[in-house]
Structure 1
Amino acid sequence: MQPSTEANKLNFTTSPNQFYTWHNYRCAYEIYQPNHSTPEGISLLLIHPIGVGLSRQFWRRFCGEWYTTGHSNPIYNPDLLGCGESDMPHVAYTPKDWAKQLHYFLQTVVQKPAIVVVQGGLLPVALELVQKEANLIAGLILVGPPAWAVTTKKLPEWQQKLLWNLLDSPFGNAFYRYARTPSFLRSFSNRQLFASADTVDAEWLNTLVKGAENIANRYAVFSFLAGFWRQDYSSYIASIKQPTLVVVGETASSISQEGKQETPDERLADYLAYLPQGRGIKLLGRNVLPYESTTEFVAAIAPFINEFS
């Protein structure tokens, strides 16, 4: 179910775009808070997915629904380097790089314990972040995590470099220009992200098209496609001491070949078998639950977050 965008606009305020400097790069973020009450409760730190045109705007619908339903937690919503309004250097990004950026953000901007909410294939960034900063992470919500076979299988380094070099070329440049067209974005969203084509709406497509206007966004996308995030993270997951909620779509799928045979129930069971303080839930939807099933997603995670208040 999609919430009313107009109603959401009345229930929260967001800071003007704010920036901080990390390793001489300018990084963007915004802070959400309820419009008619004082922010209270534990803070949320959102980690957006990587993809053509994706940025912190991915979370805007979720933030609106969070406050529409009466919650008042402050929400910190940063743009990862290479995305949105953050700088976009021509580098190959790894989960460790983005985790270092968020570690600095936690220490200098948030400055208090938060629940990390991470979408999809950016799970490795959250796992690397927990390794660096346990004290400022009170809990985690893993939304639509990758198939277990993908999360626990290292892609050979030579293969990662080969894919990066192939993409970081005139061929990759041409591919990205095609991939940011509305027709491709709609087709990909229908095939890989959403359970229903009806939910691939104009708001989603317009946000992606606008986010992909800066061609330099391709470096973050190519880094993800090259598989620099493909490592064996099973020991990292098993070492998480914080309470962790895993949220999986009832029709969750995997783009990677290794995970195509896995059912959503199997995915959930595999993660929970390793997480010391894990719990899980399935929701109507596929792979982008905070956007596709916003109302259900908010209702599902609220009890977990309220336990920290």
Structure 2
Amino acid sequence: MSIESSAPIQFYTWKNYRCAYQLHHPDDSGIPLVLIHPIGVGLSGNFWYRFCKEWYEAGNINPIYNPDLLGCGDSEMPRVTYSPQDWAEQVLYFIQTVVKKPVIIVTQGALFPVAIKLVQLDKKLSNRETPWIQKLALSGPPGWKIMTRDGSPVQNKLRWNLLFDTPLGTAFYRYARSRKFLKSFSIKQLFENPDSVDKNWLDMLEKGAANLETRHAVFAFLAGFWREDYEQAIASIQQPTLVVIGQNTSNISREGLKETPDERLAAYLNALPNGKGVKINGRNVLPYEETAEFVQAIAPFIREG
């Protein structure tokens, strides 16, 4: 039985939206992991299925909560300009009302801003001696230059209104969810080894993008609603944070093209008050392409008291 079929899809309601999640090993006593999946064509919580399977095969016992962010997977898909703040509010509500225990957050790629906002919300709203967010594990966070440059709300809205939220945008999404485009983009931008762009990966993306309404979350991300200068916010994260970088990590955005993996890792560790870092094989989708090595990289950090 695959990890996908072994955990049924469950639902909760947030702000009148029906949101989906899966729960693996609910009876185990370890601190729960809450996974934050990347945003992209066809992506949802299913991104993590290899990680979940490998986590338990490696002998780890922590319960894993794997939610679909609003606009993705089996969660509702309203036509809105999603931001990290929106998703952080959703995830904090999920932790408070469904998980009901302090957790460790594991994020992929450019969804690190959701974790940043989540830490800020936890500190501001929870009024607890023990924060809901105990630790953070970051897989391939964006280039430092990208994360510390101000966004442009005006340009974001223009891109959304004039390009993405239009018939032209819909036509582009129909092309972007084609198997040919998905394979080409994955090879050029995401994976170290072209052979790793396998049938399972492409089938998952095609299935995930079958509903055209998934375009809203993707376009909100592409329009740049997640972009802002996060430097001070990162420096204020007191929770222990592990940064995992691929040996061949690259930047999809132009701002960070000259940044080496070592420079990226050093910049994060210089900014994080309680940061640790490690480089492993792979490029930009470490939990999928280098699953076993990624699990080995974060498991000791998860177990630390």
TM-score band (shorter)? Answer: over 0.9
Residue in 2 that maps onto 1:45: 34
Once the 2 structures are TM-superposed, how far is the Cα of residue 15 of structure 1 from its aligned partner? 3.4
Q: 1:277 to 1:214 in 2, by over 3 A?
A: same
Contact 1:88–1:217 at 8 Å: present in 2 too? yes
Query: Where do residues 3-82 of structure 1 align in structure 2 (5 Å cutoff)?
Result: 9=2, 14-33=6-25, 38-82=27-71
1:128 aligns with 2:117: yes
**TM-score, with structure 1 as normaliser:** 0.94
Output one character per residue of 1:57-116: Cα deviation in whole Å (capped at 9) or x when no partner. Answer: 000000000000111100000000000000000111011000110010010011111100
Give the whole-Å Cα distance in 1 for the aligned partners of 2:87 and 2:156: 17
Q: 2:228 aligns with which of 224, 227, 231?
A: 231
RMSD of Structure 2 on Structure 1 (CA): 1.3
User: Which ranges of structure 1 fall in alignment gaps of 5 or more residues?
Assistant: 1-5
Give the whole-Å Cα distance in 1 for the aligned partners of 2:299 and 2:5: 20
Residue in 1 that maps onto 2:75: 86
Q: 2:208 aligns with which of 208, 211, 214?
A: 211
Contact 1:14–1:30 at 8 Å: present in 2 too? no
Residue in 2 that maps onto 1:170: 167
Once the 2 structures are TM-superposed, how far is the Cα of residue 133 of structure 1 from its aligned partner? 1.1
Give the whole-Å Cα distance in 1 for the aligned partners of 2:64 and 2:297: 17
Query: Where do residues 129-144 of structure 1 align in structure 2 (5 Å cutoff)?
Result: 129-134=118-123, 135-144=131-140
Query: Where do residues 98-113 of structure 1 align in structure 2 (5 Å cutoff)?
Result: 98-113=87-102
Residue in 2 that maps onto 1:3: none
Query: Helix, strand or coil: the match of 2:251?
Result: coil
Identity of aligned residues (%): 61
Give the whole-Å Cα distance in 1 for the aligned partners of 2:134 and 2:151: 31
Output one character per residue of 1:132-162: Cα deviation in whole Å (capped at 9) or x when no partner. Answer: 1141011001110000011011121111111
1:194 aligns with 2:184: no
Query: Helix, strand or coil: the match of 1:133?
Result: helix
How many residues end up aligned between the 2 structures?
A: 297
Query: Helix, strand or coil: the match of 1:105?
Result: helix
Contact 1:43–1:74 at 8 Å: present in 2 too? yes
Residue in 2 that maps onto 1:159: 155
Residue in 1 that maps onto 2:263: 266
Residue in 1 that maps onto 2:276: 279
Query: Helix, strand or coil: the match of 1:84?
Result: coil
Residue in 1 that maps onto 2:141: 145
Output one character per residue of 1:232-255: Cα deviation in whole Å (capped at 9) or x when no partner. Answer: 001110001110000000000001
Contact 2:4–2:46 at 8 Å: present in 1 too? no
Query: Helix, strand or coil: the match of 1:286?
Result: coil
Give the whole-Å Cα distance in 2 for the aligned partners of 1:12 and 1:244: 28
Contact 1:95–1:124 at 8 Å: present in 2 too? yes
Give the whole-Å Cα distance in 2 for the aligned partners of 1:275 and 1:236: 10
Once the 2 structures are TM-superposed, how far is the Cα of residue 216 of structure 1 from its aligned partner? 0.3
User: Which ranges of structure 2 fall in alignment gaps of 5 or more residues?
Assistant: 124-130
Query: Helix, strand or coil: the match of 2:234?
Result: helix
Give the whole-Å Cα distance in 1 for the aligned partners of 2:82 and 2:4: 33
Give the whole-Å Cα distance in 2 for the aligned partners of 1:229 and 1:273: 23
Give the whole-Å Cα distance in 2 for the aligned partners of 1:81 and 1:264: 31
